[in-house]
Amino acid sequence: MPLTSPTARRVLNLARQPDDRWLAAPVSDRELSQAHLANALFDAQQG
């Protein structure tokens, strides 16, 4: 049975704020741009 996020936080005694902050913006524009660049480089290398 998978743990839900609130249950995991309570069991592991984790703060909610970082999780909520990530949910608001899971991937920054810079991270997304870098991922696209990495994918393009990988695809170009695969030829």
Q: How many domains are there within the chain?
A: 1
Residue 14: which domain range? 5-46
In this prediction, residue 23 carries a pLDDT of 79
Neighbouring residues of 14: CB distance < 8 A, sequence distance ≥ 6: 8
Predicted pLDDT of residue 1 = 65
Answer whether residue 31 shows pLDDT above 90.
Answer: yes
Q: What is the pLDDT of residue 39?
A: 96
- 37, amino acid identity: L
Cα distance between residue 14 and residue 3, in whole Å? 14
Of residues 25 and 42, the one with the higher pLDDT is 42
According to the model, what pLDDT value does residue 33 have?
96
Work out the average pLDDT over 10-33.
Answer: 81
